[in-house]
Amino acid sequence: MSDREIITSKRTGDSCIHVKHKSGLDVYIREMAGFSSVYALFGTKYGSVNTTFKLAADEEYTEVPNGIAHFLEHKLFENEDCGVFELFAKTGAQCNAYTSFDKTCYLFSCTKDYTENLRILLDFVQKPYFTKENVDKEQGIIGQEIRMTNDNPEWRVLFNMLRGMYHSHPVQIDIAGTEDSIAQIDADLLYKCYDTFYNLNNMTLSIAGNIKADEVLAICDEMLRPCEDKGLETVFPDEPDDIVQAEIREKQSVGASIFQFGYKCLPCKEDFLRKEMTASLAVSYLTDASSEMYNRLLSDGIINASFGGEVFAGDGFFTVIFSGESEYPETVKEALITEIKRITDEGINEKIFNRIKKATYGDLVRQLCNVTAAASVMINTHMAGCKPFDVVDIVSELTAEDALSFIRNELLPEKTVLSVIEKI
């Protein structure tokens, strides 16, 4: 028997259904009357950083090559009969998948026949088919993809920064791995990783739009094969607090030099969403277009409208990144360090902070009325150990003092890395 829970936002009144299905799968359903589309994600908490793991019955940890989570995602789109894209094409649905640092998701969007599309999604993800021949073929395809991303300046500037920041954590490695690491992948390894991480107790289904919960759950009853929770544990290498290298430069054929200036923050084991949103508000405050720093750099031609910031965080890593186009990235770096020192000494302007907080809150509420965003929020918050509407509550409760505390304690000048891709 599956347990059904209705989760309601105390602030907006929006609600969704959470079911811990008898198969072990967590299912999130958001019925959105009046919408014509449906968006579904079937995901596993398994990304590129999960290279060391064991089950409760194992005596030793298993370590696998970098890039295997992404490789596995590619291979699941093939089965013995035909390609998955062909199956979705027959229904008129759009399908895709992605592997990030800490999750892999398979998805579809459609405006009709959602029940048939849901059956296809649940079916193919539960049917791995790996052979020596199709693995060898995929190594060539992904090898080409790796070579292409190595020539991508936006990708290079990020991973150069991460390599300057992290000594041991696998976040510094390209999601697709390297040509050497994927050459070590074979069918047996793929099956081992699939059996470990694609256990339904480690997975989530999130679906939103023009749907009926009873129909979704009936299809889950029909398609899902019960799994025993085998006690999965993942670990990461010990990571020092300090950085590896403060500056990394590389030349490429780009129209304008680009940079990423990052702060290595302490990883978060508890209250991850709260720390992430606190950091996000702090970053928005620092990059606010009305600030004196922003307008001075803009008027001096140091930055342009591409300048911005983001929080980049996950299992065992937490960073704040400022990026953009500039021929003077060192000037941007010094301006940010100076501004952070000023804010640390003088405090945060509460009027500006509250404006930014209200804008962020409004964006989050608007996402609840978007089918794609609603489904994405449900799966992302669950994998972060939270409930779907927690983020709205958290943002509403954060204060200028919270943001100031984060800036003071985490954005330290000795924890910075500047990565630059210069014009040849």
Closest CA to 195 of 362, 72, 321: 72
Q: Name the residue with tokens 């592997």.
A: 99
Q: Which of 302, 286, 404, 297 is nearest to 337 (CA)?
A: 286
Catalytic residue among 5, 73, 215, 410: 73
Structure tokens at 219: 């299809």
Cα–Cα distances (Å) from 340 to 132, 278, 283, 333, in that order, read: 54, 15, 11, 11
Q: Which of 420, 410, 296, 402 is nearest to 356 (CA)?
A: 402
Rounded CA gap, 310 and 170, in Å?
A: 20
Picking from 333, 330, 331, the residue whose alpha carbon sits closest to that of residue 321 is 333
Q: Write out the DSSP string of 146-158.
A: HHHHHT-HHHHHH
Cα angle, residue 42 at apex, residues 41 and 45 outer, rounded to 5°: 110
Give the HSE-up count for residue 377: Cα atoms under 13 Å, Cβ half-sphere: 24
Contact 383, 203 (CB under 8 A): no
Query: How far apart are alpha carbons 50 and 309 in whole angstroms?
Result: 26
Measure Cα distances from 378 to 51, 101, 111 in Å. Answer: 26, 18, 20
DSSP letters of 169-228? -GGGS-TT--HHHHTT--HHHHHHHHHHH-SGGGEEEEEEES--HHHHHHHHHHHPPP--
Told to judge if 78 belongs to the known catalytic residues of this protein, a careful annotator would answer no
Would you name the residues annotated as active-site residues? 73
